[in-house]
Every structure is written in structure tokens, then in C-alpha cells.
């Protein structure tokens, strides 16, 4: 079981507005020198100290994997979220000290692919920025289809088109010319791997189309940055640590566990990787599963929960932590 990775102290070197809703942050290591290496598609978990609350949100590293003197992330402001992105947008200034996790890659390039077909929706562009640098260097064929609302709302599309030319296709939803996923998937050569990052419904739609066209699971890759759902506050008992922990409305179960100084494993913090899987010892109430990891049978059995995104409603929940 992975222990919580050691975080790295960094200074915010620069905050750049990219679109009305997106800002880019550049972090340099406080200790100087170089940051840990990462590969295209990797993310880091940024620690935000908002008063007494500590939030940890994952963001794709979007700089070049070859330039390790700084990390860059882009954050889209989501007004009525739990406040992680609002905190980044409104409170974080150049010069601030923060902490980030060593990079983790759950969306790595498929080295045996004969072609990479990359589909991005909005801020879902971020993991592809570093992936494309690596694919381009390795002279591996790729094609990016980037869905944005309109020219002003899509971050980076101009830069990317300039850098990669025809390999970057922009689809503007407001112009009525959305992306025709089926037409696109039908013509892909054998050995193509599909990577999709964007809103949940986009990922699900693309997967359903691909499966319907006979694409094998091995060739489908997705990354979703799902903010943990908010919900009614509840209490949880951690049996091995003998602690009772309160989980607030805007706090995830994982964050509450961390705030109680109990070590809990995680990687994606988005309900996708399975790393945070925790045993449910007793449950008098209803588990609210918000993850994409547990199978229908596992959910029905009610013996496991993914604390990074899932919650509880009822009288008593006891976890094996």
C-alpha cells in the first residue's frame, strides 16, 4: 500500500491569466535545483491551506518533461465547486509558498501505439500539452481534436495549432460544428490508441461510441478530473486509528481523514485509480459511491468505499483505517 508521498515545497513563480476562467501557475522548488522528473500526462497534487481546511487537488503538469526547473499547471475556475479552484484563482499570488506532490502518471503514452488519437474537452487539454511534447520528440504520430465552446473560451488552442499545425484540430461547439466522434473513430488505422480528457459525459460518450465500433478496451484511455462531490456532513469512525472524524459539507472523506492525521493512500483523488480503496467494517446507512472504480457487484456488497470522492448518509460508518 502506498504511503502518502512526501510533498515538495515550492514557490509560486508566476500566475498568468490564460482565458477569463483559466489561470496558469508556475511553481519553482523552494530548495532550488530540479524537481522530480515526470512523463507526458502526469499530474501533481497541489496542497491548499485555506484557513483550517487543507485541500489537495490534482492538476496535470503541462510543461515540458525535459524542463524540470519548474512545474506548470492550469486551473479552471469553477464557481460553485468546493472552492479549490476558487482558492487558486483568488488567493494564490506570485511569491506564495505552497506544497505539491511528486508527479504521478495515470494517463501515460502507449509506447506500442501506432498512432495516438487525443480528444480534449475544454480544460481537459492540460494533460495533452506535455503528452504532445513527448510524442512529437519521439516522432510518434498523433492527432489532437480539441473541443471548445468558442475562440475565447478554449485555453491554448492558438499556441498548439501554431506548434503542431494540422495535427491539432479545433472544434467549436457554438459554431454548430461540434466533433463527429463516430466519423473520426471509424477512420482510425489499426493500432490507434484513444486518449480522452474532459467532462464526464464527453468521456462516457466517446467510450460508448468506441466500444460500439469494436475498439478494444486496451486502446481506450481516459482521465477525468472530477472534483469530489459535496454533500451533507457526516461522521466516520476509523477503527484501527480509534478516531471519530467529522466530514464537512465541502470536504471530501479523504480530506477529513487526512486532517485527522491518519495516513490514507491515494493517487488520482478523482475516483478513478483505485489506490484509496478502503474497507467498510460497518455501515448503518447508505454509501454514496461517486467513483468510477468499484464494480456494480462491489457497490452492491457495500464492503468498500473510495474516500477520495465518495460519501455517506446515515447513522454510522466504520472504516478499516
Q: List contacts with ligand FES (CB under 6 A).
A: 266-269, 271-276, 291, 293, 306, 308
Cell numbers linked to 294: 468499484
**CB-count exposure of residue 6 (10 Å: 0-12, 13-18, 19+):** exposed
Instruction: Output phi, psi for 134, to 5 deg.
Output: -70, -40
Cα dihedral 70/76/79/82 (nearest 10) = -50
Asked if residue 84 lies in contact with residue 33, where contact means CB atoms within 8 angstroms, the answer is no
Binding mask 147-186 for another protein (x = CB under 8 A): --------------------------------------xx
Between CA 241 and CA 261 the distance in angstroms is 10
Q: Name the minimum Å distance from CB 220 to another protein.
A: 10
The residue (of 86 and 110) whose beta carbon lies closer to another protein is 110
Q: Is residue 190 a contact point for another protein (CB under 8 A)?
A: yes
Q: Name the minimum Å distance from CB 48 to ligand FES.
A: 17
Partner whose footprint covers residue 213, from ligand FES, another protein, none (CB < 5 to 8 Å by kind): another protein
User: Restricting to residues 108-127, which ones interact with another protein according to CB under 8 A?
Assistant: 112-115
Q: Which of 72, 52, 53, 76 is nearest to 63 (CA)?
A: 72
The residue (of 201 and 216) whose beta carbon lies closer to another protein is 216
User: Restricting to residues 206-245, which ones interact with another protein according to CB under 8 A?
Assistant: 211-219
Taken as a whole, the chain contains a residue count of 321
Q: Is residue 187 a contact point for another protein (CB under 8 A)?
A: yes
Partner whose footprint covers residue 71, from ligand FES, another protein, none (CB < 5 to 8 Å by kind): none
Amino acid at each position: 500500500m502506498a504511503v502518502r508521498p512526501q510533498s515538495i515545497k515550492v514557490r509560486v513563480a508566476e500566475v498568468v491569466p490564460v482565458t477569463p476562467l483559466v489561470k496558469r501557475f508556475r511553481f519553482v522548488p523552494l530548495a532550488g535545483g530540479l524537481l522530480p522528473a515526470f512523463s507526458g500526462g502526469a499530474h501533481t497534487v497541489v496542497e491548499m491551506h485555506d484557513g483550517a481546511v487543507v485541500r489537495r487537488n490534482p492538476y496535470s503538469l503541462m510543461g515540458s518533461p525535459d524542463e524540470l526547473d519548474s512545474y506548470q499547471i492550469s486551473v479552471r475556475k469553477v464557481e460553485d465547486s468546493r472552492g479549490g479552484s476558487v482558492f487558486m484563482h483568488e488567493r494564490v499570488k506570485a511569491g506564495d509558498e505552497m506544497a505539491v506532490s511528486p508527479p504521478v502518471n495515470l494517463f501515460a503514452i502507449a509506447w506500442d501505439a501506432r498512432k495516438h488519437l487525443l480528444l480534449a474537452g475544454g480544460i481537459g487539454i492540460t494533460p495533452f500539452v506535455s503528452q504532445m511534447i513527448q510524442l512529437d520528440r519521439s516522432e510518434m504520430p498523433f492527432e489532437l481534436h480539441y473541443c471548445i465552446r468558442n475562440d475565447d473560451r478554449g485555453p491554448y488552442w492558438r499556441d498548439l495549432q501554431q506548434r503542431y499545425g494540422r495535427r491539432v484540430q479545433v472544434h467549436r461547439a457554438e459554431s454548430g460544428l461540434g466533433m463527429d466522434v463516430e466519423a473520426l473513430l471509424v477512420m482510425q488505422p489499426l493500432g490507434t490508441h484513444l486518449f480522452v480528457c474532459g467532462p464526464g459525459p464527453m468521456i462516457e460518450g466517446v467510450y460508448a461510441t468506441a466500444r460500439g465500433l469494436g475498439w478494444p478496451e486496451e486502446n481506450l484511455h481516459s482521465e477525468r478530473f472530477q472534483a469530489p462531490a459535496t454533500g451533507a456532513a457526516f461522521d466516520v469512525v476509523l477503527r484501527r486509528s480509534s478516531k471519530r472524524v467529522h466530514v464537512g459539507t465541502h470536504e471530501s472523506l479523504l480530506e477529513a481523514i487526512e486532517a485527522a492525521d491518519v495516513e490514507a493512500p491515494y493517487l488520482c483523488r478523482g475516483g478513478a485509480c483505485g489506490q484509496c480503496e478502503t474497507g467498510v467494517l460497518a455501515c448503518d446507512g447508505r454509501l454514496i459511491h461517486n467513483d468510477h472504480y468499484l464494480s456494480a457487484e462491489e457497490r452492491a456488497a457495500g464492503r468498500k468505499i473510495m474516500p477520495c470522492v465518495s460519501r455517506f448518509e446515515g447513522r454510522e460508518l466504520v472504516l478499516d483505517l
